[in-house]
Amino acid sequence: MTTDTSTGGRWSQAWAVYTRPTVLRMLLLGFSAGLPFLLVFSTLTAWLRDEGVSRTAIGFFAWIGITYSIKVFWSPVVDRVRLPVLTRAFGQRRGWMLLAQVGIMAGLAGMALTDPVADLTWVALLALLVAFAAATQDITIDAFRIESDSDEFQAALAATYVLGYRMAILATGAGALYIADYASWTLAYLCMSALTLVGIFAALISPEPTSPERLDIEHDPLVQRYRERSRLRGRLQDAGAWIAGAVVAPLVDFFRRNGWLALPVLALIGLFKVSDLSMAAMANPLYLDLGFTLSEIATVTKIFGIAMTITGGLLGGVLVARFGILPMLLASAIIVAVTNLLFAWLATIGPQLWALFMTIGADNLANGLSATVFIAWLSSLVSRRYTATQYALFSSFMTLPGKLLGGPSGWIVDNAGYVFFFVYASALGIPAILLIIWLMSRRYTAAAVRNHDEAAAD
């Protein structure tokens, strides 16, 4: 009979994280977060093109996606501003979450009832409303997740979040297209609007997380020092105090807690996904140039690929609970870089379906694993005084270098070929691997930073 100290006991405890109520509720909130994404991107473009809207007009709809990248600019408002009635009734996090979900529901219903040919401008404005509300919801759900449980369970929370998100992608991608094909786009978007009730239900049944560390702006030490030294008076001083507490303090806090190590930590945030993001744009061209059919690509990358991503995400939650965040962060960075080499190998094999299954399976498993581990690590970096603002900053920054380096990907393929490009993309993961090893050699952990900070405060 095994004991809790045995290997089997430790593994059973690791899997048991998925029975926690906080972890199970995150499945519903992950679905709510993933629901609007395709409905203002690829599914929307399919609807517009099906209705005969010009490709030029459709192209401008891509600008709607900027809202997800700039959410950091209004995250301090979500972090600090109390909503009339909603905050008092549901709390800071759930109040903002419910407001955002109602905005998503109303925007999708409005789109469903608008003719994109006769009123394209209204469709664009409603899509912008949905995207803005969705980005706001992301801010609140990220903060809610981090504050709902301790660091050791963040990977499991991230895993069920990713699972729910992917289920929403299936519903709003394949599901919406099926409804539109067999009925109408109006019904499709009305059904998607109704699915917002999943997130509303999750917000209503979830207790508001208690975060004793979260300070009112007036009690923030930075704001108190500002008040003492400011020569402004009245409303001007109040406005400056709010900016100091909501915008400046989260940045100061991060650098104060981490010292000069904040720079390599920020570098790792920006570099961790570079290998994967830089090669993403050339994946579909590779499949088509090799001769795979659209049906084969859809089956392997969307259905099988999403299943492997979900598997990797759930596995990541267990492995972090078993081995810790930094060791698994290193392992996932290595796995992502190595699996990107499989695309170079695929380029030499040709249109062999088994090779595509192997490449997509390994790559998506690695992506699901790394996403869960990386989200858990980012969550551990956040101070619970400034949860929403700091996490929005990190999540916005983590995609920027990869997108910039992905720009010349087509030029590299045209001039050097697919094999060289994917080897190059894999090599872009080396700096992140070296940074993780270096941080581990310095025994850096977010918990150690917090403990040192608390000891200094005492």
CA distance 415 to 420: 10
Indicate if 316 and 206 belong to the same structural domain.
no
Q: Looking at residue 454, what is its pLDDT?
A: 47
Q: Looking at residue 395, what is its pLDDT?
A: 81
Indicate if 66 and 195 belong to the same structural domain.
yes
Q: Looking at residue 12, what is its pLDDT?
A: 67
Task: Work out how many domains the chain is built from and give that number.
Answer: 2
Indicate if 281 and 428 belong to the same structural domain.
yes
CA distance 316 to 326: 12
Indicate if 265 and 192 belong to the same structural domain.
no
Note whether residue 234 is domain-resident.
Answer: no
Q: Looking at residue 299, what is its pLDDT?
A: 79
Q: Looking at residue 4, what is its pLDDT?
A: 46
Note whether residue 242 is domain-resident.
Answer: no
Helices (H), 16-91: 21-39, 42-50, 55-60, 66-69, 75-80, 86-90
Domain boundary residue, one of 210, 239, 267: 210
Note whether residue 368 is domain-resident.
Answer: yes
> What pTM, to 2 d.p., does this model score?
0.76
Residue with tokens 């025994």: 443
Long-range contacts of 345-352 (CB under 8 A, 24+ apart): 346/286, 346/290, 347/286, 347/290, 347/417, 347/418, 347/419, 347/422, 348/419, 350/290, 350/291, 351/290, 351/291, 351/292
Indicate if 310 and 370 belong to the same structural domain.
yes
Note whether residue 247 is domain-resident.
Answer: no
Indicate if 61 and 144 belong to the same structural domain.
yes
The DSSP call for residue 64 is: G
Indicate if 203 and 316 belong to the same structural domain.
no
- Give the CATH number, domain containing residue 421: 1.20.1250.20
Closest CA to 21 of 209, 197, 169: 209
Domain boundary residue, one of 151, 181, 210: 210
Indicate if 296 and 178 belong to the same structural domain.
no
CA distance 443 to 280: 33
**Exposure of 433 by Cβ count < 10 A (0-12 exposed, 13-18 middle, 19+ buried)?**
buried
Residues in contact with 53: Cβ distance below 8 Å, sequence separation at least 6, in sequence order:
116, 117, 120
Note whether residue 5 is domain-resident.
Answer: no
Indicate if 175 and 284 belong to the same structural domain.
no
From residue 146, how far is each of 90, 383, 397 by CA, in Å? 18, 10, 18
Note whether residue 170 is domain-resident.
Answer: yes
Note whether residue 223 is domain-resident.
Answer: no
Domain of residue 158 covers: 20-210
From residue 343, how far is each of 13, 294, 306 by CA, in Å? 36, 18, 18
Indicate if 292 and 422 belong to the same structural domain.
yes
pLDDT in tens, the chain (458 residues): 344 445 555 666 666 777 788 889 999 999 999 999 889 887 888 888 888 888 778 877 777 877 887 888 888 888 888 899 999 999 989 999 999 999 999 999 999 999 998 999 999 999 999 999 999 999 999 889 988 887 777 888 888 998 899 899 888 887 888 898 888 999 999 999 999 999 999 999 999 987 666 656 667 777 777 777 777 777 777 777 767 777 777 888 888 888 888 899 999 998 998 888 788 768 878 888 888 887 787 778 878 888 898 899 888 888 887 888 889 999 999 999 999 999 999 999 888 999 999 999 999 999 999 988 998 888 888 887 788 888 888 887 787 777 677 667 778 888 888 899 899 999 999 999 999 999 888 877 655 555 545 444 44
Note whether residue 235 is domain-resident.
Answer: no
Backbone angle region of 324, left / alpha / beta, with phi > 0 → left and psi within -120 to 50 → alpha:
left
Domain boundary residue, one of 172, 194, 210: 210
Indicate if 91 and 174 belong to the same structural domain.
yes
Indicate if 200 and 265 belong to the same structural domain.
no
Report the amino acid identity of residue 18.
Answer: Y
